Amino acid sequence: MRIAGRHYRTIALAADGCSVEIIDQTLLPFTFKLRRLQSLEDAAQAICEMTVRGAPLIGVTAAYGVALAMRTDPGNASLRRAMTTLGATRPTAVNLHWALARMSETLQPLAPGARAAQAYAEAWAIAEEDVRCCEMIGRHGLKLLQALAARSPGRRLNVLTHCNAGWLACVDWGTALAPIYAAHEDGLPVHVYVDETRPRNQGAALTAFELGAHGIPYTLIVDNAGGHLMQQGQIDVCLVGSDRATAGGDIANKIGTYLKALAARDNDVPFYVALPFSSIDWSINDGLAQIPIENRPAREVTHLAGLDERGRRIEVRIAPTDATAANPAFDVTPARLITGIITERGVAAADYAGLAALYPERSEARRAGA
Ligand SMILES: CSC[C@H]1O[C@H](OP(=O)(O)O)[C@H](O)[C@@H]1O
């Protein structure tokens, strides 16, 4: 989306036609810097260190990571190593594993000499498909926001979102924020309450940055304020993203999402999840039992990163030196707490019947045992 009026995407093939250009999201919101991925290892490191993050973007980065590996060595062992290296980066976002499976299916049958060009072409196709999906999520979500706005004429619609599920989590548009961008472009007055989203603060650092850069009004809040605002009638709808949805409509998303869904249910606030088809894991039904939850370093909890008064990026400790910390990066929101799932094909009830109706080809494959 736009930054100071200029259109950007989070990832693209560089002008040299082989390296991959990404926005370094660890430096936002204070520094906007592009980095070049030159190798499989660069791509894997960027995913692990969250230089790029967000389920769709992780998938696209992994796809380009395979292309970078094939440019260096298109042999079978190199292809297997690329799959293993990238597959081990982050466990929760199914888009990573979906993209790797698609790259493997595309490249395995080819002679090694043909793999590099096809790998770049497939990675590009995955990226373009993600842009189209997210734009369509925006269009379908806009209709939903328009219907909600009609219930409160004469005032702006107040949306709460958690973490960053905007264009910075994808290639463009975003998932949970795509309807916000579509509403803004459609002239629908909308305001966003942005959860800071401890401990990595993707809300404070990324969602606030991208909404502000696009001219969309927002208010940053601490994670624990959302329930209070819902009790006060300040939130019309919750819109969040997802790293993995089950065929039954359970969703894994950034830690704290589940608590927001509980508060939304208790206050009759509609709770919608926005996601593309590549975030649905059709092989599982029970999110709590089957979605792997990433545990990240304790330092992310015991320390905070920011700028000192001279504009230098520093980290400060906020807990005792002997503190132990747990850092589950995601939680699972059961389908029963979800009002609906906004996809590129429309809005589905958060259950198997609803998702299968939007993706009949998947339900047939599932019946056939694929
Ligand atoms: C559109 S997927 C965005 C999703 O990814 C985030 O996780 P992370 O920043 O750790 O990659 C978060 O769960 C967002 O909702």
Domain residue spans of the chain: 2-129, 137-367
- Residue 318 is predicted with a pLDDT of 97
Q: How many residues appear in the chain?
A: 370
Q: Is the pLDDT of residue 37 over 90?
A: yes
pLDDT band at 167 (very low <50, low <70, confident <90, very high): very high
Give the burial string for 251-287 (b: 16+ CB within 10 Å, else e): bbbbbbbbbbbebbeeeebebbbbbbbbbbbbebeeb
First to last CA, the chain: 37
**Residue among 47, 202, 273, 330 to mutate when testing ligand 1 (max atoms within 8 A of CB):** 202
> Phi-psi category of 369—alpha, beta or left, where left has phi over 0 and alpha has psi -120 to 50?
left
Average pLDDT over residues 314-333: 97
35 phi and psi, to 5 degrees?
-125, 155
> CATH topology for 137-367?
Rossmann fold (3.40.50)
Q: Which ligand 1 atom sits closest to the C-alpha of 240?
A: 15
Query: Which of 150, 125, 212 is CA-nearest to residue 177?
Result: 212
| Position with higher pLDDT, 131 vs 366 | 131
User: What confidence tens digit (pLDDT) does each residue in 249-276 have?
Assistant: 999 999 999 999 999 999 999 999 999 9
- Residue 368 is predicted with a pLDDT of 67
Q: Is the pLDDT of residue 142 over 90?
A: yes
- Taking domain 2-129, whether its CATH number is 2.40.10.480 is answered by no
The tokens describing 323, both together, are 């503190």
- Residue 53 is predicted with a pLDDT of 98
User: Is-same-fold flag (2-129; 137-367)?
Assistant: no
- Residue 245 is predicted with a pLDDT of 98
Q: How many A from CA of 86 to the centre of ligand 1?
A: 17
Q: Calculate ∠ Cα 314-52-275, nearest 5°.
A: 130
Q: Which ligand 1 atom sits closest to the C-alpha of 252?
A: 13
pLDDT band at 296 (very low <50, low <70, confident <90, very high): very high
Q: Is the pLDDT of residue 369 over 90?
A: no
Mean pLDDT of the chain: 96
Locate all alpha helices (DSSP H) within 150-177, ordered by sequence: none
167: DSSP letter: G
- Residue 5 is predicted with a pLDDT of 80
User: What confidence tens digit (pLDDT) does each residue in 193-222 have?
Assistant: 999 999 999 999 999 999 999 999 999 999
The predicted model scores a pTM of: 0.97
Q: Is 243 a catalytic residue?
A: yes
**Pairwise CA distance, residues 160 & 357, whole Å:** 28
Q: How many A from CA of 332 to the centre of ligand 1?
A: 13
User: What confidence tens digit (pLDDT) does each residue in 330-352 have?
Assistant: 999 999 999 999 999 999 999 99
Task: State whether the beta carbon of 133 lies less than 6 angstroms from ligand 1.
Answer: no
pLDDT band at 311 (very low <50, low <70, confident <90, very high): confident
**Pairwise CA distance, residues 370 & 368, whole Å:** 6
The tokens describing 42, both together, are 């660069």
241 is in an annotated binding site: no
**Pairwise CA distance, residues 177 & 291, whole Å:** 24
Average pLDDT over residues 47-53: 97
Task: State whether the beta carbon of 178 lies less than 6 angstroms from ligand 1.
Answer: no
Locate all alpha helices (DSSP H) within 243-321, ordered by sequence: 257-266, 287-290, 299-302
Task: State whether the beta carbon of 90 lies less than 6 angstroms from ligand 1.
Answer: no
Q: Is the pLDDT of residue 290 over 90?
A: yes
**Pairwise CA distance, residues 185 & 168, whole Å:** 18
Q: How many A from CA of 258 to the centre of ligand 1?
A: 14
Task: State whether the beta carbon of 201 lies less than 6 angstroms from ligand 1.
Answer: no
Among 130, 172, 236, 243, the active-site one is 243
Instruction: Answer whether 160's CB lies under 8 Å from 153's CB.
Output: no
Average pLDDT over residues 293-307: 95
